Amino acid sequence: MIIIHARMAVKPEKKEEFLKEIDAVVEGSRAEAGNNSYDLYQDPKDANSLIMVENWKDMDAVQAHNSSSHFQKFSAAAKEMLSAPLDVDVYQGEKVN
């Protein structure tokens, strides 16, 4: 299982536009065959600081996601809406029962 934490600092004046754009990514990503979960969270102390927590079956699923049209479209648009570079951490994990 691959877990990704993608931290995003959104320009305050672009937040509404960002949230509209990211809705399509969330919907499309959750429908992908290798996706286990794809959730966006907001920092309770900073309304413009968001984190996408992704859980994927394997790296092949991540690569397919990164090549998907909904992700490519969002990535191109997001560059203008972020106030800092995307901060991404990738982990390999396994479920503990």
| pLDDT tens digits, 53-77 | 999 999 999 999 999 999 999 999 9
Give residue for tokens 């648009």.
77
> pTM for this structure?
0.92
CA distance 56 to 81: 26
Q: Which domains does the chain carry? A: 2-90 (3.30.70.100)
**Closest CA relative to residue 33, chosen from 11, 12, 58:** 58
Task: Count CB neighbours of 35 within 10 A.
Answer: 18
Residues 71, 28 contacting (CB under 8 angstroms): yes
CA 34 from chain centre, in angstroms, equals 15
CA distance 74 to 84: 16
Residues 9, 73 contacting (CB under 8 angstroms): no
What pLDDT, in 10s, does the model give residues 12-50?
999 999 999 999 999 999 999 999 999 999 999 999 999
